[in-house]
Amino acid sequence: MADVTGVGREGAGEAPRSWGARLKYIGPGFVVAATGVGAGDMVSSLSAGTNFGTVLIWAIVIGALLKYVLTEGLGRWYMATGTTILEGWRSLGLWASLYFVIYLLIVTFVFGAAVVSASALAVTAMFPGVMPLWAWAVLHGIFGFVVIGIGRYRLFERIMEFFVALMFVTVVGLAIMLTPDLGELALGIVVPRIPEGSVLYALAVIGGVGGTFTLASYPYWVRERGWSRPSWIPMMRLDLSVGYLFTALFMVSMLVIGAEMLFARGEGISGEEGLVALSDPIRERFGTLASWFFLVGFWAAATSSILGAWNGAAYLFADSVRTILRVPDERAGEYLSETGLWFRLMLVWITFPPMLLLSFGQPVLLVVVYAALGAFFMPFMALTLLWLLNSSRVSREYRNGWLTNALLAAAILLFVVVGVQEVAGAL
């Protein structure tokens, strides 16, 4: 397996040992948080709050925990072995690499249209009549293409941190303004409850916390920071803990907004268009400024997902090509580069061909295939991490413990159920 630890852009030196020193290095975890929380996650969390109040807050906690375990496994594999998870999958057989690259090409084609449309919805609501929705969507896609195409990771990370701050101030700030019952929130965590008819909502919340294929991008982001050796594993764990803490806090805030604004009034929402419509009752209660805050938070969540997905997908595709072709160690840097050919080709693919879907709609067959392949990805990732991180490919001290194995096994079962629901919904 090719050792890619030596091709990182930023020489990080020795890993920090104290908590205070580690806090200064936090960054890739925020990228994961900003990328993972998109408009779809906002809808699932808000819908849960709208229909059941804050009862399902425990589902957010479980979702964040499971996604943390998966992403920590990806980071630990990279730092313990010096190879990306794509190399790990290739070691299982060519089938694993081919499955992933086919999945990636299809999911980015559909996702590339969906995510820019979500950003466009928010901007259209803020500036009605200025431009049609499709034009805003195209501009957002080009924005992602330009920012990621510049090829500077630190610029990308700084922009993502800005979006995290914007999401915190707007959405979390609005949730605080609603003054939720903290005792009820705590009860929802300590005593999990499943009201009648809430199972599918709970599964949607758990499955929606923190992204899908973008989780596999995390090792490339820490690689850009130079976190390439086992000594960086504690730093990586703190970074992810902070990132998923923010993710959970954001999702809880959406749950609170749904519970306080709609649950008590017996109202509901329908899809991302319903998210935009929610700005009206917010305006009635708190004024125009609060309504704009919500729309800005919605826009920030969707647009940060554009940048994270564009960057992460480009890395994953370039590395897929590298591992399938068995590129020698000394040429690994040509592929794992933001200015490399295959990286740029994926940027073109995820930006421009999906614009066709903005005009013609999403073909039914493509949506079904997208849902089917996506349904298997999370169980695939959990299963392969369970396999790889208990094998001789990893030094004994960096293999899974019993708790991690139990959580990965639970993730496999959970995401299989969620995946079946996704496929059923697409049929």
CA distance 135 to 124: 10
pLDDT at 362 over 60: no
Give Cα 143 distance to the centre of its chain. Answer: 19
Name the percent of the chain lying above pLDDT 90. 42
**Mean pLDDT taken over the chain:** 84
pLDDT at position 415 is 80
Q: How many CB atoms lie within 10 A of CB 190?
A: 9
Q: pLDDT-based confidence at 271, cuts 50/70/90?
A: low
Report if pTM > 0.75.
yes
Q: Identify the weakest region by mean pLDDT among 9-23, 104-118, 244-258, 383-397.
A: 9-23
pLDDT at position 286 is 83
Residue recorded with tokens 């925990």: 65
pLDDT at position 91 is 92
Per-residue pLDDT tens over the stretch 26-82: 999 999 988 888 777 777 777 777 777 778 888 888 888 999 999 999 999 999 999
CA distance 240 to 36: 12
pLDDT at position 1 is 41
Q: Identify the weakest region by mean pLDDT among 24-38, 64-78, 239-253, 270-284.
A: 270-284
Q: How many CB atoms lie within 10 A of CB 401?
A: 9
> In sequence order, what are the residues at sequence separation of 6 or more whose Cβ sits closer than 8 angstroms to the Cβ of residue 365?
none
pLDDT at 196 over 90: no
pLDDT at position 347 is 96
Average pLDDT estimate for 320-347: 89
Q: pLDDT-based confidence at 7, cuts 50/70/90?
A: very low
pLDDT at position 237 is 96
pLDDT at 351 over 80: yes
pLDDT at 189 over 60: yes
pLDDT at position 107 is 87
Domain ranges across the chain: 14-426
What is the length of the chain? 427
| 334 CB-contact burial (10 Å; exposed 0-12 / middle 13-18 / buried 19+) | middle
pLDDT at position 333 is 82
Average pLDDT estimate for 91-106: 92
The CA–CA distances, whole Å, from 410 to 10, 31, 85, 373, 377 equal 36, 26, 21, 20, 15
CA distance 122 to 281: 16
pLDDT at 345 over 90: yes
Q: Identify the weakest region by mean pLDDT among 52-56, 91-95, 410-414.
A: 52-56
pLDDT at 374 over 80: no
User: String of b and e for 380-397 (b: at least 16 CB within 10 Å)?
Assistant: bbbbbbbebbeeebbeee
pLDDT at position 8 is 47
Q: How many CB atoms lie within 10 A of CB 260?
A: 21
CA distance 279 to 298: 10
The yes or no reply on domain 14-426 and CATH 1.20.1740.10 is yes
pLDDT at 264 over 90: no
Residue recorded with tokens 């999403």: 362
Give the residue, 125 or 382, on which the prediction is more confident: 382
Average pLDDT estimate for 214-218: 91
Per-residue pLDDT tens over the stretch 130-177: 898 889 999 999 999 999 999 899 999 999 999 999 998 998 888 888
Residue recorded with tokens 């294929």: 213
Three-state helix/strand/coil letters over the chain? CCCCHHHCCCCCCCCCCCHHHHHCCCCHHHHHHHHHCCHHHHHHHHHHHHHHCCCCHHHHHHHHHHHHHHHHHHHHHHHHHCCCHHHHHHHHCHHHHHHHHHHHHHHHHHHHHHHHHHHHHHHHHHCCCCCCHHHHHHHHHHHHHHHHHCCCHHHHHHHHHHHHHHHHHHHHHHHHHCCCCHHHHHHHHHCCCCCCCCHHHHHHHHHHCCCCHHHHHHHHHHHHHCCCCHHHHHHHHHHHHHHHHHHHHHHHHHHHHHHHHHHCCCCCCCHHHHHHHCHHHHHHHHCHHHHHHHHHHHHHHHHHHHHHHHHHHHHHHHHHHHHHCCCCHHHHHHHCCCCCHHHHHHHHHHHCCCHHHHHHCCCHHHHHHHHHHHHHHHHHHHHHHHHHCCCCCCCHHHCCCHHHHHHHHHHHHHHHHHHHHHHHHHC
